[in-house]
A and B are shown apart, each in its own frame.
Chain A
Amino acid sequence: MANLRDGLEKKTLTTLVSSKAIGRIDKWIDKYPLEQKKSAVMAALRIAQEENQGYLTTELMNAVAQYLGMPNIAVYEVATFYSMYEHKPIGKYQICVCNSISCMLNESEELFHYLQERLGVKPGEVTQDGRFSIKEVECLGACTGAPMVMIGKEYYENLTHEKMDKILESLN
């Protein structure tokens, strides 16, 4: 059988991300004992993701694995477990809609559907202009402001459809 693993050209992390990013990853590695540098995998993946327009590729994950001396599959396990790691291209603004209990009681589902309709994309898709993508996420700890979304690193709370429209217009 064709071995896809062989097809992938092996690139080192240093050729895939900026030296600044390597510096940041190294800082994380320094926080752990030398023989446990794999503890830095989550930070390394996050930084690598930031360097690649917000999503991870197999090539990047393999490079992180090699950099931290881990088996590739162990990195895939982490990268697929946490929902903050993306595996497909995302929009410039990724709108993360909370689906958990407080938001749900305050009609987050409705909001989620509204967003899909308004932007014309389903979860996991990107608008044609490349600006927006939407995603359903678990509780973000802002139940007092339900329903809420997170865009980039910003929280937007107590949302209505009108409020959401304004937010979308304000994002450029």
Chain B
Amino acid sequence: MSDSTTITIEIDGKSIQVKPGTMLMDIADDNDIFIPRFCYHKKLSVAANCRMCLVEVEKAPKPLPACATPVADGMKVFTKSPLAIAAQKATMEFLLINHPLDCPICDQGGECELQDVAMGYGGDVSQYDEGKRVVNDKDIGPLIETEMTRCIHCTRCVRFGIEIAGLQELGATGRGENMRIGTYIESALESEMSGNVIDLCPVGALTAKPSRYTARAWELTHHDSIAPHDCVGSNIHVHTFRGLANRVVPKNNESINECWLSDRDRFSYQGLLSNHRLRDPMIKVDGEWQETDWNTALEKVRDTIADTKENSGSDQMGFLVSPSATLEEMLLLKKLANGLDVSNIDHRLRQVDFSHQNQQPKFMSLGLPIEALDTIDAMLLVGSNPGKEQPIIAHRLRKAAKNGAEISLINHRDYSLSMPLHCQLTESYTGLVSLLAEVAQSLPGFNATSLPQEAKALFDKAEPGEDSRRIADSLNNKKISAVVIGNQAINSPCYSLIEVFARALAEQTDSTFGYLTEGANSTGACFAGIAPNRKLGGEIEDRSANTTTMLSEPRNLYILHNVEPEYDFADPVVAVETMIKSDCVVCLTPFISDDMKIYADILLPIAPFVETSGSYINIQGKIQSFKGNTPVENTQARPAWKIMRVLGNLLHIDGFEQLSSADVLQEFESELSAIKADNQANITEVCVLDSVDSKLLRSSQVNMYRVDNITRRATALQKTPAGQEDAVHINSNTAAKYNLNNASRVRVKQNSTAVGMPLKIDNSVADNSVWIAAATNVTKKLGPMFGVIELEVD
């Protein structure tokens, strides 16, 4: 630091070089000088309303709040002088006037900022003997418990809503003594990041509802882990109480989740405590389920595998793997498959268009670090709703949008991302490709010669509107730009066409191309070769097999790893039927369900997230390992990598001598460190668009709280408005066209399936499109996520 850009100030006699304009509080924090505070938070705007951080500044007539006082040259600050301490003590006395003395029954007790600061600055006796204010609580949903009498009006939660979540739901209503923090109208918070107000609240006014009254802060043991529900890989602390996960809080990682966490990552741990946990290995004998021991179960699996290989051939075996399985599990499964000469292995369970699978990049990634999203200037997101799919990505984009970035969306439905959007275009899933062609068409000098024929035809037909032009201009003119395709693009029947256009747009506007993928470890699955056309290490070979071909003709033996066919596939009905038709289905699963009892034949209990060690590769290509933390209570569940090791040994396959999950990775150390997330690919093979003119088309998104077997069992998340989403959404034009304006329920028909569902007129949905969430208890009885659909009044 040169002297011209810095000034010198003195805090408590210590001379410090600082940048002019910095706030005193930040400097004190950087230099480990403690100043008490409540309303100040480094990620939020300065409110300066709690007055706890008053300090003495030389020549200032009265104490100044450190959080809102910019430094000046030669400033002398005293944080512990008699004047400063007196001011802090006086503030503390005022804050405690209305605060109840209910620490013994308060969940925040023991980790309470008010308690801590009161120890240092509070008096032992209050001079105040009048009545305290009491605030009636309002129910703000199943995730957050309120005890608003304890509130000290720091407004961190209000500022969080405005500045971070982008959705102001909490506010300070009333004035003076009658001021209170709340929603005013009783309603559940809808932000997918709402749980962060629990961490922000310096007192016990907002606490976690699911873990309320279950444990004291000092009884919890603290473990580091990685959140397993999206491709971001948020860093978390799991707090366990007597061996069981009691709550999850964010672990600060500025390059990934900062100090935030999505509600899904925070509250999903409840699924681990579900009474659907599979306790013992089980086998079906003459249609009856029997509990058994590991030896019997594993020998049975070995015999079945050996038998199938011997009598029906390796092609009669299929491995279907969750995209959220750990890298170690995936590597061992691939080794097992290789050892058995099985190429039928896949993690792309909800994907249906595999036309370009042999031309895709070695690793699918975002193409840029998650952190870099903050400073992006323009982005086009296609088939993606990051708000529900990767809330931390949405948060990063919100930050960028607030700084003027132009975020555009092309989707099947208008998604509110709680941020200012540049443009939002919607179309049914086939129309969506035409929208991309329009954007390409409006790009000056777009070179269409490299497009595959199918895409070229769409390009030639395209008649761009004003909005497509705006999107093209924004990508073309902005310095740092990106085109990213999300989960819904990947699951679309037009995936390859979408990717071709998205890549062409990115290439010709000098933008980065990237993916947002399903599950926590899709990139890891590419590396481990969990696809018929990928080798161990990610290398692609020319193969046409995929999940769909694996299901279209039932195989004799399926090994399902952490997968529930009734929810985790594009077409749950077909998936379950195939499993039932198969001779033998082996499920490696932490949970047992009624559906599973019907299609499965052998159940092996595995230790889920928190209980097993492993690693995930997140969407920016970063490998994050975590330890197996909690011992599993009264279950025989074992880490899946150990089960696979034993199976490998039982089948006499080489390379299964690992003693720990770290050993599994070690073998691939050099390959892993060479992972390049560059997304380079040249795509020429694309799907052929079916003629679906004038038909109603279903598009969908996996319900955000039903993405995997753990979240589906997280009870509080299921009770949120988002968790209960189960309606058919169509816009008013479509409703009028099909005479459904006055219907409240409809019968939905898809292929050979039909279910009754509530109808919601929702103008966010594109014309001629029907939007139905996937993976719910109703839609598991319905056809594929995308496809032709019929509606009639129920």
1/0 contact string of B164-176 vs chain A (CB within 8 Å)? 0001111111110
Q: Could you tell me the distance in whole angstroms from the C-beta of B302 to the nearest C-beta in chain A?
A: 50
1/0 contact string of A41-80 vs chain B (CB within 8 Å)? 0000000000000000010000000000001111011001
Contact A5 B174 (CB under 8 A): no
User: Cβ of B139: which chain A residues have Cβ within 8 Å of it?
Assistant: 1
Which of A1, A4, A5, A80 interacts with B173 by CB under 8 Å? Answer: A80
Check if A144 is an interface residue, CB within 8 A of chain B: no
Kindly state the separation between the CA atoms of A83 and B176 in the bound complex, as whole angstroms: 11
> Are A71 and B168 CB-contacts (below 8 A) given A1-B188, A80-B173, A80-B184?
yes
**Chain A residue, CB-CB nearest to B172:** A77
Which of A1, A76, A81 interacts with B175 by CB under 8 Å? Answer: A81
Which of B142, B171, B187, B719 interacts with A77 by CB under 8 Å? Answer: B171
Check if B8 is an interface residue, CB within 8 A of chain A: no
Check if A170 is an interface residue, CB within 8 A of chain B: no
User: Cβ of A81: which chain B residues have Cβ within 8 Å of it?
Assistant: 173-175
Kindly state the separation between the CA atoms of A73 and B169 in the bound complex, as whole angstroms: 6
Which of B168, B174, B186, B719 interacts with A4 by CB under 8 Å? Answer: B186
Check if B185 is an interface residue, CB within 8 A of chain A: yes
Q: Could you tell me the distance in whole angstroms from the C-beta of A66 to the nearest C-beta in chain B?
A: 14
User: Cβ of B171: which chain A residues have Cβ within 8 Å of it?
Assistant: 71, 73-74, 76-77
**Chain A residue, CB-CB nearest to B168:** A71
Check if B141 is an interface residue, CB within 8 A of chain A: yes
> Are A76 and B141 CB-contacts (below 8 A) given A1-B719, A3-B721, A81-B174?
no
Which of B168, B172, B187, B719 interacts with A5 by CB under 8 Å? Answer: B187
Contact A73 B184 (CB under 8 A): yes
User: Cβ of B741: which chain A residues have Cβ within 8 Å of it?
Assistant: none
Contact A80 B174 (CB under 8 A): yes
Q: Could you tell me the distance in whole angstroms from the C-beta of A61 to the nearest C-beta in chain B?
A: 9
Contact B168 A74 (CB under 8 A): yes
Check if B183 is an interface residue, CB within 8 A of chain A: yes
Kindly state the separation between the CA atoms of A5 and B186 in the bound complex, as whole angstroms: 8
**Chain A residue, CB-CB nearest to B141:** A1
> Are A77 and B188 CB-contacts (below 8 A) given A3-B721, A71-B168?
no
> Are A73 and B170 CB-contacts (below 8 A) given A1-B139, A80-B184?
yes
Contact B175 A72 (CB under 8 A): no
Which of A8, A73, A82 interacts with B168 by CB under 8 Å? Answer: A73
User: Cβ of B188: which chain A residues have Cβ within 8 Å of it?
Assistant: 1, 3
User: Cβ of B183: which chain A residues have Cβ within 8 Å of it?
Assistant: 73
1/0 contact string of B144-170 vs chain A (CB within 8 Å)? 000000000000000000000001111
Contact A1 B142 (CB under 8 A): yes
Kindly state the separation between the CA atoms of A81 and B184 in the bound complex, as whole angstroms: 12
Contact A80 B141 (CB under 8 A): no
**Chain B residue, CB-CB nearest to A3:** B187
Kindly state the separation between the CA atoms of A125 and B311 in the bound complex, as whole angstroms: 88
Q: How large is the interface on A (under 10, 10 to 19, 20 to 34, 35 or more residues)?
A: 10 to 19
Q: Could you tell me the distance in whole angstroms from the C-beta of A32 to the nearest C-beta in chain B?
A: 18
User: Cβ of A1: which chain B residues have Cβ within 8 Å of it?
Assistant: 139, 141-142, 188, 719
Q: Could you tell me the distance in whole angstroms from the C-beta of B283 to the nearest C-beta in chain A?
A: 42
Kindly state the separation between the CA atoms of A72 and B174 in the bound complex, as whole angstroms: 15
**Chain A residue, CB-CB nearest to B167:** A71
**Chain B residue, CB-CB nearest to A80:** B173
Kindly state the separation between the CA atoms of A71 and B167 in the bound complex, as whole angstroms: 8
**Chain B residue, CB-CB nearest to A2:** B186
Q: How large is the interface on B (under 10, 10 to 19, 20 to 34, 35 or more residues)?
A: 20 to 34
1/0 contact string of A71-110 vs chain B (CB within 8 Å)? 1111011001111000000000000000000000000000
Q: Could you tell me the distance in whole angstroms from the C-beta of A80 to the nearest C-beta in chain B?
A: 4
* CB within 8 Å of A: which B753-779 residues: none
Kindly state the separation between the CA atoms of A19 and B111 in the bound complex, as whole angstroms: 55
Q: Could you tell me the distance in whole angstroms from the C-beta of B372 to the nearest C-beta in chain A?
A: 28
Interface centre among B170, B183, B184 (most CB of A within 10 A): B184
User: Cβ of B167: which chain A residues have Cβ within 8 Å of it?
Assistant: 71
Kindly state the separation between the CA atoms of A82 and B186 in the bound complex, as whole angstroms: 21
User: Cβ of A72: which chain B residues have Cβ within 8 Å of it?
Assistant: 184-185
User: Cβ of A71: which chain B residues have Cβ within 8 Å of it?
Assistant: 167-169, 171
Kindly state the separation between the CA atoms of A3 and B721 in the bound complex, as whole angstroms: 8
User: Cβ of A74: which chain B residues have Cβ within 8 Å of it?
Assistant: 168, 171
User: Cβ of A76: which chain B residues have Cβ within 8 Å of it?
Assistant: 171, 173, 184-185
Kindly state the separation between the CA atoms of A145 and B489 in the bound complex, as whole angstroms: 73
Kindly state the separation between the CA atoms of A8 and B187 in the bound complex, as whole angstroms: 11
**Chain A residue, CB-CB nearest to B170:** A73
Contact B185 A4 (CB under 8 A): yes
User: Cβ of A4: which chain B residues have Cβ within 8 Å of it?
Assistant: 185-187
Contact A77 B185 (CB under 8 A): no
User: Cβ of B172: which chain A residues have Cβ within 8 Å of it?
Assistant: 77
Kindly state the separation between the CA atoms of A76 and B186 in the bound complex, as whole angstroms: 13
Kindly state the separation between the CA atoms of A4 and B188 in the bound complex, as whole angstroms: 9
Q: Could you tell me the distance in whole angstroms from the C-beta of A74 to the nearest C-beta in chain B?
A: 6
Kindly state the separation between the CA atoms of A5 and B185 in the bound complex, as whole angstroms: 7
Interface centre among B173, B175, B187 (most CB of A within 10 A): B187
Kindly state the separation between the CA atoms of A156 and B440 in the bound complex, as whole angstroms: 71
Q: Could you tell me the distance in whole angstroms from the C-beta of A11 to the nearest C-beta in chain B?
A: 15
Q: Could you tell me the distance in whole angstroms from the C-beta of A94 to the nearest C-beta in chain B?
A: 19
Kindly state the separation between the CA atoms of A83 and B174 in the bound complex, as whole angstroms: 9
Q: Could you tell me the distance in whole angstroms from the C-beta of B168 to the nearest C-beta in chain A?
A: 4
Kindly state the separation between the CA atoms of A30 and B248 in the bound complex, as whole angstroms: 49
1/0 contact string of B719-747 vs chain A (CB within 8 Å)? 10100000000000000000000000000
User: Cβ of B186: which chain A residues have Cβ within 8 Å of it?
Assistant: 4
* CB within 8 Å of A: which B180-232 residues: 183-188
Kindly state the separation between the CA atoms of A72 and B167 in the bound complex, as whole angstroms: 10
User: Cβ of B175: which chain A residues have Cβ within 8 Å of it?
Assistant: 80-83
**Chain A residue, CB-CB nearest to B173:** A80
Q: Could you tell me the distance in whole angstroms from the C-beta of B230 to the nearest C-beta in chain A?
A: 26
User: Cβ of A8: which chain B residues have Cβ within 8 Å of it?
Assistant: 185
User: Cβ of A83: which chain B residues have Cβ within 8 Å of it?
Assistant: 175
Q: Could you tell me the distance in whole angstroms from the C-beta of A88 to the nearest C-beta in chain B?
A: 14
User: Cβ of B170: which chain A residues have Cβ within 8 Å of it?
Assistant: 73
Kindly state the separation between the CA atoms of A44 and B172 in the bound complex, as whole angstroms: 20
Q: Could you tell me the distance in whole angstroms from the C-beta of B187 to the nearest C-beta in chain A?
A: 4
| 30 examples of A-B residue contacts, CB within 8 angstroms | A1-B139, A1-B141, A1-B188, A3-B187, A3-B721, A4-B186, A5-B185, A5-B187, A8-B185, A58-B185, A71-B167, A71-B168, A71-B171, A72-B185, A73-B169, A73-B173, A73-B183, A73-B184, A74-B171, A76-B171, A77-B171, A77-B173, A80-B173, A80-B174, A80-B175, A80-B184, A81-B173, A81-B175, A82-B175, A83-B175
Given contacts A73-B183, A80-B173, 15 further A-B contacts (CB under 8 A): A1-B142, A1-B719, A3-B721, A4-B187, A71-B168, A73-B170, A73-B171, A73-B173, A73-B184, A76-B173, A76-B185, A77-B171, A77-B173, A81-B174, A81-B175
What are the 7 A-B residue pairs with the smallest beta carbon separation, nearest first? A73-B171, A71-B168, A80-B173, A5-B187, A76-B184, A77-B171, A81-B175
